[in-house]
Structure 1
Amino acid sequence: MQPISVQSSNVQAVQYSPAALTLTVWFQSGGVYEYHGVAEHLYQQFLAAQPHPWTAVGRAIKLHRFVKLA
């Protein structure tokens, strides 16, 4: 699955795996984080909240276990 570009001042792109419930977020700052256990409805809310997706659902996403990839 390819990353999806996002219209946001904070987030550059996202990629979601429904099988693994994993959301990968590329931030404009260059950081890349992989969040685990993210329900698909939260991912859909993220996409629908453009141009401020992180402001809208970032708090809920940050409650999930994550790994910094870059």
Structure 2
Amino acid sequence: MTTSEYTEVLERAERLPREEQQHLVDELATRVQQPDTEYPGAALLKYAGTIDPERLRIMEQAIEEDCERTETSG
């Protein structure tokens, strides 16, 4: 946002009644939080790169082995 756009937003917000100003603040807070909910797992990105590579290799191997197995019932 440019400085002039920022100034325009502030000037317009100042002209709103107090209740509408609060509604605007609440709406902005909601929209700022939305990127974390736009796609599944977004909140987990803060953990990216925190798992030891050796543990990742072990997990990958276990998943591959389980996916190759077939189950027979009964």
> Normalising to structure 1: TM-score of the pair?
0.27
Bigger RCO of structures 1 and 2 (CA < 8 A, at least 6 apart): 1
Which structure would you say has the larger Rg? 2
